Chain A
């Protein structure tokens, strides 16, 4: 198998750019909605101007979000086509429902743009609320799919059979025997899953592997991820508007920018206070429960250790040990006398059945190689995967704690800016004293600095949080079940350096050009309209 790192990095590049645009897609509607409400209440045109500006940025951003989403989707089916099996089963219901969200998002955004300023503000408010609801619904569904990769709900104890330290992932709604048989065919043939899936009639030969199509929605990991990720995205998206208008206020001293900031400041600050404390904690407990290796990587627990604070937060018990890799290895060793053939036979799978299945699927397996695979000790597989996970400890551990630090920066900055913008008893005097805010100039400067720190803290903690989420899942693509090498493309083109470089170049060029365009739309004045005005017979 070729080195998969370039393809993994290419996918990460696409996902990160998509995350930037999705954050704005989810966050800017909060700003637009708040400004529209103020406009409806006061009829002050400054709010409508703000709405127009943010809407223009949102429109360009939405186009970029849509295409990067398409890129990620195609990236999955083209570079990682083994995921087609997941898309056609566990993820089908969320992805199919996502079509509703995506279609409605687009038509409502177009309707909002077309009618803005031409209809009553109340109707525009209704349209943007509906748009936002569908955008959030889209986020809910995609996060549900990603969460299934993190905690494959409905597969029961399949992963636990190989890795005794893992929990059961809900009730068993999958056909464990078929999944294990497929896995053994892949291991023995050395082929990725695409080799099987592309064979005509493969699906009917394999048959039903999932009995509850809606299982992805029952995943408790999904609920925590949805709350955690979507609020983070809203904070980043509206944080961009906060920092941008904070900068304009600092540079110009024009209090209209402050007026715009205050329109959406309170809901934004409430989210910043709730997101890490309530939703972040909820997410953390899910990681503890369902991703034991990831939690150990985050805490740097190569060896089991005691820390009352972390133990209390993670397990609700200050005396609980922080379970490390030493215990995982020990649990692997308890399976020393169990071979894959024992697991297979416990599911009713014989060597003949596996050979017959592979022959029906047109996959050639050397019987000797199959024997080798079946004789493999479960403990060896378990230990080898733990080694692969452990090799990522440094990056996950430091990323996690850096993320926490940036989160604290955003949290503290939010409290500080709140007490500068509003008169909060005690806190305002305290903050102004600490920051030495004693003039209009220093107030403007600090509003800009604190707004920038909120944005920086939110962006960094989200980016690093996503890194922890994805790298912490490795060495699996589906936690405890499937490796990246099993879902990668069989096409030799995918491994060519020229393909990866050209793809990376296009992704970078389009996204950076898009970001530049958004900046131009947000900052440049209209200067080249004379020709158009003459063409349309408009005076002035």
Chain B
């Protein structure tokens, strides 16, 4: 395909979409993984009256309260960019992927308020009820990729879309019979808990809590090892069902990125095994432990870039070829690019403000674990 045939407005849309998806996925992956570990340790705290588990759960839930809404912003950005730049794709998806999108929306609807409710009702309601809210919060999060990963699978290997275009019947759950979906979903879920664990390990180094680091790194490591099976499984399923993407990632222009991702995964594996050994056997925290979360997040970021960009210059890949983004683009008006650049400028500012807030909340410990006593 001739890249010069893609209008600049469409390219800008693709770039913003790519960046937004990658940022969104990293934040969502962090909060989903941390959410599960938080709910688990809150449960252990209540069942065993374990003060350590209680403190760990409370500390880790700060990550959720600080970053969940910000990750949600990027989800909204994705929606507006899709509807504004690629209305054809949105119109097609909301028809053929009605069920997966509905599952995602319902999950978002439950997930975000339950995080705020979990944080602010801590200590105000019976612990058993609070634990239940914690699990609603943790598990509802996995409904989000359960829906949206179906969309990603469809644009990599159009199963429901293919059926529809060939005149076949697209049922309620057709998108879930896409052979790519389940390997991608498994890959996503394992990455989520692994990254959550490594993030907790990194943050626990700030409080120099050896047990906390050990727990975080254990989760990270176990699910990273599981990824040694799930990752190749997804890669092989791409080989069979989306040879264009497989080729691009393995031997094509995205191979360097893929190699970097693999090298980082090996580094993560080595550092996490070392940290696990040091914390569990010698009761000390190695200096490199803080890097576990950032390395794992970088791997997720690169993975998402690989996953999405490797379709380029197509938006929907069909075997060895695909459909250009131009086919789905907005030609109903000329999109005012200066407005888009202003918006991007403000989004950069929002990232800066968020980083300041996250730094003060998590590193400088401004966001206290003990809820403020309110007299009035």
Contacts of A258-275 to chain B: CB distance below 8 A: 260
Contacts of B69 in A (CB 8 A): 62-63, 66, 106, 109-110
Do the beta carbons of A207 and B331 come within 8 Å of each other?
Answer: yes
Contacts of A536 in B (CB 8 A): 55, 58, 369-370
By size class, the interface of chain B is: 35 or more
Q: Which of B87, B127, B346, B347 contacts A88 (CB 8 A)?
A: B87
**Roughly how many angstroms separate A183 CA and B211 CA in the complex, as a whole number?**
66
Contacts of A28-64 to chain B: CB distance below 8 A: 45-46, 49-50, 52-53, 56, 59-60, 62-64
Which partner residue on chain B sits nearest A61 by CB separation?
A: B116
Stretch from A390-398, A457-465, A518-526 at the B interface: A518-526
Which partner residue on chain B sits nearest A90 by CB separation?
A: B333
Do the beta carbons of B99 and A67 come within 8 Å of each other?
Answer: no
Do the beta carbons of A67 and B108 come within 8 Å of each other?
Answer: yes
Q: Is B356 an interface residue (CB 8 A)?
A: yes
Q: Is A211 an interface residue (CB 8 A)?
A: yes
**Roughly how many angstroms separate A204 CA and B76 CA in the complex, as a whole number?**
26
**Roughly how many angstroms separate A210 CA and B84 CA in the complex, as a whole number?**
14
**Roughly how many angstroms separate A195 CA and B99 CA in the complex, as a whole number?**
18
Nearest Cβ distance between residue A99 and chain B, in whole angstroms? 5
Stretch from A326-334, A370-378, A403-411, A487-495 at the B interface: A487-495
Stretch from A73-81, A335-343, A381-389, A430-438 at the B interface: A73-81
Do the beta carbons of A490 and B95 come within 8 Å of each other?
Answer: yes
Do the beta carbons of B92 and A526 come within 8 Å of each other?
Answer: no
Contacts of B98-137 to chain A: CB distance below 8 A: 98-99, 101-102, 105-106, 108-110, 112-113, 115-117, 119-127, 130
**Roughly how many angstroms separate A189 CA and B332 CA in the complex, as a whole number?**
22
Do the beta carbons of A528 and B124 come within 8 Å of each other?
Answer: yes
Contacts of B79 in A (CB 8 A): 70, 73-74, 77
**Roughly how many angstroms separate A445 CA and B357 CA in the complex, as a whole number?**
43
Contacts of B371 in A (CB 8 A): 526, 529
Most buried by B among A71, A74, A194: A74
**Roughly how many angstroms separate A118 CA and B375 CA in the complex, as a whole number?**
18
**Roughly how many angstroms separate A210 CA and B336 CA in the complex, as a whole number?**
12
Q: Which of A81, A107, A528 contacts B91 (CB 8 A)?
A: A81
Q: Which of A200, A490, A499 contacts B88 (CB 8 A)?
A: A200
Nearest Cβ distance between residue A234 and chain B, in whole angstroms? 22
Do the beta carbons of A525 and B124 come within 8 Å of each other?
Answer: yes
Do the beta carbons of B172 and A198 come within 8 Å of each other?
Answer: no
Q: Is B72 an interface residue (CB 8 A)?
A: yes
Do the beta carbons of B84 and A96 come within 8 Å of each other?
Answer: yes
Nearest Cβ distance between residue A5 and chain B, in whole angstroms? 20
**Roughly how many angstroms separate A103 CA and B70 CA in the complex, as a whole number?**
7
Which 10 pairs of residues, A with B, have the shortest CB-CB distance?
Answer: A535-B55, A535-B51, A197-B91, A63-B116, A200-B327, A534-B51, A198-B91, A103-B350, A198-B92, A100-B346
Which residues of B are in contact with A by a Cβ distance under 8 Å?
A: 45-46, 49-56, 58, 66, 69-70, 72-73, 75-77, 79-80, 83-84, 87-88, 90-92, 94-96, 98-99, 101-102, 105-106, 108-110, 112-113, 115-117, 119-127, 130, 172, 323, 326-336, 339-340, 342-343, 346-347, 349-350, 353-354, 356-358, 360-361, 366-367, 369-376
What are 25 A-B residue pairs whose CB atoms fall within 8 Å in the complex?
A46-B375, A59-B120, A62-B69, A63-B112, A67-B109, A67-B113, A81-B90, A81-B94, A88-B332, A100-B342, A102-B73, A103-B347, A104-B349, A115-B366, A197-B91, A198-B88, A208-B333, A213-B333, A213-B339, A489-B95, A507-B109, A517-B116, A524-B125, A533-B370, A535-B50
